[in-house]
A and B are shown apart, each in its own frame.
Chain A
Amino acid sequence: MTKPSNFNNFMDALTQELIDMPDEQVLEGRDVRELQAGGQALLRSARAEAGKRRLAAAKAGVSALRNKPDTSNVQVLAVSAAEARRFIAEAQNESRYTLAARKLGEMSDDEVLRLYSQMKRLEDAGAKGRDE
């Protein structure tokens, strides 16, 4: 019994028949050199085009990232070590964060700023979670 006549059947049969055909039959009367050159030219141009598109996609991704405002970075850059210490001390008093039992005074400015940055990121993430 045959299937309903359609183009998909035709394409399946054509592909399978081409696979079954010996190379000599496929190539009979054809210019083999021209085919070889055509295959290589296609390979080169398609690889170059794929590279271009991937680069364009990567650039678009980077540009989208740049346009996204990153509030925590702005805050980190804008804050001084003294301000960061004040913020951390207040956060400890308000029990907003459970911090390791270490006195703020023992921490270097770099450590304080790093901690401040982490806390701000946590705050941002929390705010985003509530918004969603």
Chain B
Amino acid sequence: MIEEPEDTVEQEDGYERLSAEDVDQEIRALLGSAANFARLKSIASTLAAGVTGLSGDDLLNEAVVRFYEGRRKWPRGVHPLVVFKSAMHSLASDMRKRVALSPVDENVALVTAGGEEASADSRPQVHAAVTLTPEDELSGKKQLAAVYAVVAGDEDLELLVMVWADGLRGEEAANELDWDKKKYEAARKRLTRRLGALDPDRRLK
């Protein structure tokens, strides 16, 4: 379970919200469909990539809990997958900030001095946290690096990640890559599958 940070999610005002009953209906419809559950898992595991100790399943579970708790509102007229993407994105950002605030970089092992070659100072040594600039944080550099790591070695998928990160998609993206529809859809299917199967223990730390 994700630890309980205060929900700092900033939800834009001006949206009409769904009632608790309607939210329940939306969530049941989403989770009751195998295809939509698979879509949700792909989105969740991609968002969890780059956040130490967070799995896509944890993230998805926390988002559903918060919708049922009423801590997260559901805007009317927005596609349910987009609603979930926004909720999980906010949760993952909060988690990342909490990890970043920690003085010890949890991405590396704690090193303890020992053995004959160790210096006289036997106090535990820690690695300094790798610092990302605010610009890096804003652009999600670390998360994007985690996605590139998942597709490393598959040139077509690397190219697809690149054009999507550039803000292109669909026909526009296919044209940019000079791919026909068939090739584009095949690569898209492989990429979403690969992201959905992201194992938090094996991904880039």
Contacts and interface: CB of A to CB of B under 8 A. Distances in A.
Contacts of B60: 42
A2 B167 CA distance: 6
Nearest to A20: B170
Interface in A30-82: 30, 32, 35-36, 38-40, 42-43, 45-47, 49-51, 53-54
Contacts of A14: 42-43, 46, 164, 192, 195
A50 B139 contact: no
B188 A21 contact: yes
A45 B189 contact: no
Interface of B is mostly: helix
Interface residues of A, number: 43
A108 interface: no
Interface stretch (B31-39, B99-107, B114-122): B31-39
B64 A28 contact: no
A25 B42 contact: no
Interface of A: 2-21, 23, 25-30, 32, 35-36, 38-40, 42-43, 45-47, 49-51, 53-54
Interface of B: 1, 27-28, 30-35, 37-39, 42-43, 46-47, 57, 60-61, 64-66, 68-70, 79, 81-82, 85, 89, 138-141, 143-144, 147, 161-170, 173, 185, 188-189, 192-193, 195
Given A8-B139, A11-B85, 16 more contacts: A2-B166, A5-B162, A7-B165, A9-B164, A12-B167, A13-B168, A21-B39, A26-B192, A27-B34, A30-B38, A35-B37, A39-B31, A39-B34, A43-B64, A51-B68, A54-B70
